[in-house]
Amino acid sequence: MDDLAPVTSAAASPRISVRNLTVGYGSYVLMRDVSFDVARDDVFLIMGGSGCGKSTLLRVLMGLKEPQAGQVLYGGTDFWACTPRERRQLMQRTGVLFQGGALWSSMTLAENVGLPLQQYTRLSAAEIREQASLKLALAGLAGFEDYYPSEISGGMRKRAGLARALALDPEILFLDEPSAGLDPVSSRLLDDLILELRDTLGTTFVIVSHELASIFTVASNSIFLDAQTRRVTAAGNPSLLVNDPHTEEQARRFLTRGASGASAASGPDAARKDA
């Protein structure tokens, strides 16, 4: 819904603008008339219950699935109206952390992080190693360059995946369920890292998550996808939406209980404790 699109500051154009997007598979429409803006300093959350199309929407934004109608604008450029070459150039300004980390098990962490640099730059092997070490240090993994994914914890693998997503210094990072499968301590460390990267590097984040604790911790803006109406039924900062009497019932129910079962009386802090 256009009237639910989060307001973007006039001081800077949005990183991403989505306009009247309809997405589906064949004749089945998964979501329709989706519109929102992702500002340059956003940690933007895509929320909703199972089957609402969160991950599918992320795939559209990442250039992996073409919408049935509507626009995805990067800095005013209509992504799906571009040539394949222009799309690849736009996507080089983004990075992706997949839900499982997607690290190559036969490669060290430094080799994993160095893969995008090998593919898209002309840096020497020594320069790639240096950049990989730097990105791992940013992710809190200094000294782990020569470890293999099987030798580190799940939380560390997520951070290594984030370091690889940062390899090309992207403007935008897409994260698919980054806290899935992590214990509360590892999840909090990852949340803190997201906020630190936003604040120090100016990176814009677009995140799919159903984890209430992480949502309340990191989100500056969000949309809620409703599986029944197949539309955006709430938009804004989740911490404000949860107490707004005008927030649609399904969205408020998600934010007050969510997947963790946290109650409205418990609030965001209790959601973190119980995660």
Domain that holds residue 123: 104-169
Together in a domain, 64 and 176: yes
Domain identity same for 20 and 138: no
Q: pLDDT by residue (tens digit) across 1-30?
A: 444 544 444 446 899 999 999 999 999 999
pLDDT at 259 over 60: no
pLDDT digits (tens, 9 = 90+) for 134-165: 999 999 999 999 999 999 998 899 999 999 99
Say what the pLDDT of residue 270 is.
Answer: 39
The DSSP code for 167 is T
- What's the number of domains the chain is made of? 2
Which pLDDT band holds residue 210 (cuts at 50, 70, 90)? Answer: confident
Please give the pLDDT value at position 3: 46
Q: Beta strands 204-208 and 221-226: pairing type?
A: unpaired
Same domain, 46 and 129: no
Q: What is the CATH number of the domain that holds 29?
A: 3.40.50.300
Contacts of 265 by beta carbon, 8 Å cutoff, 6+ apart: none
DSSP state letters, 36-80: EEE-TT-EEEEEE-TTSSHHHHHHHHTTSS--SEEEEEETTEEGG
pLDDT tens column, 17-65: 999 999 999 999 999 999 999 999 899 999 998 889 999 999 999 999 9
Supply 169's token pair. 């210094």
Same domain, 181 and 263: yes
Residue 166, CA distances (Å) to 31, 33, 264 in order: 30, 32, 36
Mean pLDDT in residue range 172-180: 92
For residues 157-174, give the mean pLDDT: 94
82 and 181 both lie in a single domain: yes
* Radius of gyration over every alpha carbon of the chain, rounded to an integer in angstroms: 19
Residue 43: strand pairing partners: 205
Mean pLDDT of 77-89: 93
What is the DSSP secondary structure assignment for residue 149, as one 8-state letter?
G
- Domain for residue 114, yes or no? yes
The C-alpha angle 141, 145, 146, rounded to 5 degrees, equals: 135
More confident residue, 242 or 275: 242
Residue 99 domain-assigned (yes or no)? no
Task: Tell me which of 169, 195, 221 is where a domain ends.
Answer: 169
- Cβ neighbours of 269 (radius 10 Å): 12
pLDDT at residue 62, rounded to an integer: 93
The verdict on residue 146 lying in a domain is yes
Quote the CA–CA distance of 138 and 170 in Å, as a whole number: 14
Q: Based on the domain organization, do 10 and 70 belong to the same domain? A: yes
Percent of the chain with pLDDT over 70: 88
- Rounded to an integer, what distance in angstroms lies between the CA atom of residue 266 and that of residue 73? 39
Verify that 175 and 143 share a domain, yes or no. Answer: no
Q: What is the mean pLDDT of the chain?
A: 87
For residue 267, the model assigns a pLDDT of 43
Q: Is residue 98 part of a domain?
A: no
Last-in-domain residue among 169, 187, 206: 169
pLDDT for 180 equals: 84
